[in-house]
Amino acid sequence: MTARHFTFIVGSTRSGGNSETLARKTVVPAGATQDWLLLRDLPLPPFFDTRHSTGYVAPDGNAKRLCDATLAATDLVLVTPVNWYSVSWPMKLYLDHWSAWMRVPSLAFGDTLKGRNLWAVIVDSDEDPTTCSADPVIDTMRKTAEYMEMKWHGALLGHANKPGEIAADTDALEEAATYLK
């Protein structure tokens, strides 16, 4: 059996933001390894859809680093705040690049991710407990897992707005301790 390797892709634009803080409270299973990649520190070039014209080449620079880390993960954890009912812009750009990576035969991107685990750590700023602005984000992550034929493990959802407010979401912090089991 292959040892589990968790790769956390953090899409927060704020250093030490609530979504990143919640993700860092998660506990990987004993014996598993982990990597953390902060999209704000690994800027990607703009994504251009050239699949019907010039096609795509293997990524280089930060895109190669992110692609390689994604392919190395047995468990991929996507971490994002909710921004305008969607993932953060760095997370959206990262996911857009998947479209290219899937079309570079030498990467075997889709075949490699098939059957692997996809997790999400999401923080929204809703103050009304009867609504959840994270629903579209959760749906995006679930549909991504389905499309890539990955195993979807649901989302760890926290609620916070100002920096540091995640510390008051005791339910999310408690769930973080067992989320990745």
pLDDT over 90 percentage in the chain: 93
Q: How far is Cα 71 from Cα 66, in angstroms, rounded to an integer?
A: 9
Q: Of 132, 97, 94, which is closest to residue 11 (Cα–Cα)?
A: 94
Assess whether pLDDT exceeds 60 at residue 64: yes
Task: Please indicate whether residue 127 or residue 61 has the higher confidence score (pLDDT).
Answer: 61
Residue 152 contacts residue 141 (beta carbons within 8 Å): yes
| Residues present in the chain in total | 181
pLDDT digits (tens, 9 = 90+) for 123-174: 999 877 667 889 999 999 999 999 999 999 999 999 999 999 999 999 999 9
Strands (E), the chain: 5-10, 33-38, 75-81, 117-124, 151-159
Assess whether pLDDT exceeds 70 at residue 8: yes
Please give the pLDDT value at position 133: 87
Assess whether pLDDT exceeds 60 at residue 101: yes
Q: How far is Cα 77 from Cα 164, in angstroms, rounded to an integer?
A: 21
pLDDT digits (tens, 9 = 90+) for 14-38: 998 999 999 999 999 999 999 999 9
Q: Of 131, 125, 124, 153, which is closest to residue 141 (Cα–Cα)?
A: 153
In the sheet that holds 151-159, the strands lie side by side as: 33-38, 5-10, 75-81, 117-124, 151-159
Residue 47 contacts residue 96 (beta carbons within 8 Å): yes
Assess whether pLDDT exceeds 80 at residue 2: no
Please give the pLDDT value at position 1: 55
**pTM assigned to the model:** 0.95
Please give the pLDDT value at position 127: 72
Q: How far is Cα 159 from Cα 136, in angstroms, rounded to an integer?
A: 15
- DSSP H helices, 73-119, are 89-101, 109-113
Q: Domain-by-domain residue ranges, the chain? A: 35-176
Please give the pLDDT value at position 129: 62
Q: How far is Cα 64 from Cα 94, in angstroms, rounded to an integer?
A: 11
Strand partners, 6: 34, 75
Residues 35-176: name the CATH superfamily.
Flavodoxin domain (3.40.50.360)
